[in-house]
Amino acid sequence: MAKFDTLVATAAPMNQRDVNTDAVIPGRFLRRKREEGFGTCLFHDLRFHEDGSENDEFVLNQPAFRGAQILVADENFGCGSSRESAVFALHDYGFRCVIAPSFGDIFHNNCFKNGLLPIVLPAEQVATLRAQAGTMQGAPFTIDLAAQTVTGVDGVAHRFEIDPFRKRLLLQGVDEIDLTLSFEDKIAAFEAAR
């Protein structure tokens, strides 16, 4: 897995609660192969009209946010289905970090497997960051995983909590399967004792 340490990038605001994984990637795109990429499917039914033309009102179609690598979302982002394609779509589009007051549990887990950093901050702080992203369009945010901070365009650093295990794996770019295979003796002993 690719390492994650710091990120300086544009943030796009998404002012909607309970964005479910069906919205992140509609079910009809799930039969794509991983190697085909999922970036074009991201928020498909929000980004595009039925005729395939872009919905100019959707945040990611606005010029300032086309290259955004940070998504500042709202409560319960990524709820619903376990489809990891939702994370694939965000990753393949170019996102490396999603900030929200809370996430769907499975989506949150899936993010870490793909080097996409899900940051949980209090709702008021996220609202501030969303507002900054919206009004100071294109101005960069800074994510420092080691320091566990998100610095908005106003220079204020917001400290976030993160599972230390997940943090370690991201900083070191450790593959979970490789890590687990190093516990082969313990797994075998556990099996033998059952």
Q: Which of residues 25-54 bind another protein (CB under 8 A)?
A: 26-28, 30-34, 45, 50
Alpha-carbon distance of 64 to 79, in angstroms, equals 27
Strands 6-13 and 140-144: antiparallel
Q: Which of residues 110-169 bind another protein (CB under 8 A)?
A: 110, 113-114, 163-165, 168
**Does the protein bind another protein through residue 2 (CB under 8 A)?**
no
Residue number with CB closer to another protein (10 or 12):
12
**Does residue 171 contact residue 146 with C-beta atoms inside 8 Å?**
yes
Neighbours of 23 (CB within 10 A): 18
Among 16, 49, 156, 157, which residue sits at the site for another protein (rule: CB under 8 A)?
16
Smallest gap from Cβ 155 to another protein, in A, equals 27
**Does the protein bind another protein through residue 18 (CB under 8 A)?**
yes
**Does residue 148 contact residue 37 with C-beta atoms inside 8 Å?**
no
* The length of the chain, given as a count of residues: 194
What are the C-alpha distances in Å from 87 to residues 37, 110, 144, 160, 180?
A: 11, 7, 21, 21, 23
Smallest gap from Cβ 127 to another protein, in A, equals 9
Binding site for another protein (CB under 8 A): 15-18, 20, 22-23, 26-28, 30-34, 45, 50, 74-76, 79-85, 87, 102-106, 109-110, 113-114, 163-165, 168, 176-177, 180-181, 183, 186-187, 190-191, 194
